[in-house]
């Protein structure tokens, strides 16, 4: 438990920041600030967004759980023979990380090691590491705004915690291997979880911004206009679609091409993850992320895979809201990372 009460969670993403505040056992406030210039240096964009957020909400002294994008971390799955002496395992991990991560040294990185599984012959570990200077940079900015950071965690860890909690509340006793596809702004995270234990992560360079950029180019809109247009589009049923212009037809072809590429990446991940499972196969896909806001995304995936594709439903958490509009906001914009970061500490 923390010495200070948890006031909320802040998600620092690749396209903006999201904040949820928690007070009197209720969701008190939700705010979203998109980066004004998506091509701007992310540190500058973060500072500017916090300035905007600070004019809406008093951030001073707030005790927050902070999540940052997975692309900031190095995530590796390592496997070792149980014949190795325990006393040498830490050294072996350090040597392996030095070989596979450019510039890695134990003293300059923060590293967390989580067991995935262990049998009589070997053990598999998930290693998550990040340069200390990356954390110090973020802490410096947040400290400038008088935010008290209780913990910094990768966004996929927060999301996995939420899915594990929802699974526990479902009352099911089956052991499921679940694939989670989190479609972000710049990238998508594809990872697997079994009974809450995270196992294997892939980050692919496809995200919501790819769709926004296609719409922007074909419709000759600015970024904000393209984002709004994206929410009104619907994928699928291309054969029966009536196009207003040749440009619109070309736009949908390009959008479908991106979806097909993401589908291929998921198929490859399914094959790889299943081949590395000690037992069973992946039984379902959970689709989430703001990048998946285009209508028809889930239907497209339903038609592409033989296993169920589901979205996250927060109803079993019985969350209470000060303003009911925030319930819709939380659901519509797929802010599951925020919920995952917060809910573990307050429920």
CATH of the domain at 283: 3.30.420
**Distant-in-sequence contacts of 42-46, Cβ < 8 A, 24+ apart:** 42/14, 43/137, 43/141, 46/12, 46/17, 46/138, 46/141
Task: Tell if the pTM clears 0.85, that is, is over it.
Answer: yes
Three-state SS letters, 297-317: HHHHHHHHCCCCEEECCCHHH
Report pLDDT for 31.
Answer: 93
- Looking at the structure, do residues 60 and 78 belong to the same domain, yes or no? no
Q: 237 lies in a domain?
A: yes
Same domain, 64 and 160: yes
Tell me the C-alpha distance between 266 and 219, whole Å.
Answer: 29
Q: Is the pLDDT of residue 3 over 90?
A: no
184 within some domain: no
pLDDT tens readout for residues 119-173: 778 888 999 999 999 999 999 999 999 999 999 999 999 999 999 888 888 777 6
Same domain membership, residue 253 and residue 323: no
Is position 328 within any domain? yes
Q: State whether 115 and 146 are in the same domain.
A: no
CA neighbor of 46 nearest in space, from 143, 160, 128, 150 = 143
Please give the pLDDT value at position 63. 96
Give the pLDDT of residue 231: 81
Question: Which CATH number do you get for residue 57?
Answer: 3.30.420.40
Q: Write the pLDDT tens digit of every residue in 202-214.
A: 999 999 889 999 9
Residues 240 and 299 in one domain: yes
pLDDT at 85: 57
**Spatial contact of 258 and 210, defined as CB atoms under 8 Å apart:** yes
Between strands 197-204 and 177-183, the pairing is unpaired
Is 228 within a domain? yes
Looking at the structure, do residues 166 and 62 belong to the same domain, yes or no?
yes
C-alpha–C-alpha distance, residues 288 and 218, integer Å = 26
How many domains are there within the chain?
3
The whole domain housing 119 covers 73-130
Instruction: State the SS3 of 51-120.
Output: HHHHHHCCCCCCEEEEEECHHHCEEEEEEEECCCCHHHHHHHHHHHHHHHCCCCCHHHEEEEEEEEEECC
Tell me, yes or no, whether 156 and 300 share the same domain.
Answer: no
More confident residue, 122 or 53: 53
| 106 and 143 within one domain | no
Do residue 210 and residue 292 come from a single domain? Answer: yes
Question: Would the pLDDT of 282 be above 80?
Answer: yes
SS (H, E, C) 244-301: CCHHHHHHHHHHHHHHHHHHHHHHHHHHHHHHCCCCCCEEEEEEECHHHCCECHHHHH
CB 22 within 8 A of CB 8: yes
Residue 275 inside a domain? The answer is yes
**Residue 263 covered by a domain:** yes
Query: Does 178 fall in a domain?
Result: no
Residue 150 lies inside a defined structural domain of this protein: yes
């Amino acid at each position: 438990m923390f010495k200070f009460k948890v006031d909320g969670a802040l998600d620092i993403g690749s396209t903006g920041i999201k904040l949820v505040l928690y007070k009197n056992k209720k969701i008190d406030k939700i705010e979203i600030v998109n980066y004004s210039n998506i091509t701007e240096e992310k540190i500058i964009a973060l500072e500017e967004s916090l300035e905007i957020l600070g004019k809406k909400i008093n951030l001073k002294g707030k005790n927050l759980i902070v999540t940052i994008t997975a692309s900031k971390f190095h995530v590796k799955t390592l496997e070792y023979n149980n014949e190795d002496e325990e006393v040498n395992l830490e050294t072996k991990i350090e040597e392996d990380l030095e070989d596979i991560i450019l510039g890695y040294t134990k003293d300059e990185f923060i590293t967390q090691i989580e067991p995935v599984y262990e049998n009589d012959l070997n053990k598999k570990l998930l290693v998550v590491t990040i340069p200390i200077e990356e954390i110090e940079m973020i802490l410096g900015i947040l400290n400038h705004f008088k935010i008290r950071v209780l913990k910094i965690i990768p966004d996929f860890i927060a999301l996995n915690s939420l899915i594990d909690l929802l699974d526990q509340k479902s009352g099911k006793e089956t052991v499921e291997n679940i694939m989670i596809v989190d479609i972000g702004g710049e990238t998508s995270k594809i990872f697997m979880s079994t009974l809450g234990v995270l196992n294997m992560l892939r980050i692919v360079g496809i995200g919501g911004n790819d769709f926004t950029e296609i719409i922007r180019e074909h419709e000759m809109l600015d970024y904000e206009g393209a984002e709004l247009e994206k929410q009104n589009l619907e994928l699928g049923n291309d054969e029966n679609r009536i196009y207003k212009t040749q440009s619109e037809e070309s736009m949908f072809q390009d959008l479908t091409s991106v979806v097909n590429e993401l589908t291929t990446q998921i198929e490859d991940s399914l094959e790889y993850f299943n081949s590395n499972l000690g037992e069973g196969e992946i039984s379902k896909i959970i689709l989430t992320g703001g990048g998946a806001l285009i209508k028809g995304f889930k239907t497209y995936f339903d038609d592409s895979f033989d296993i169920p594709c589901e979205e996250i439903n927060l109803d079993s958490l019985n969350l209470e809201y000060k303003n009911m509009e925030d319930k819709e906001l939380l659901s519509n914009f797929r802010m599951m990372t925020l919920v995952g970061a917060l809910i573990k500490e307050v429920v």
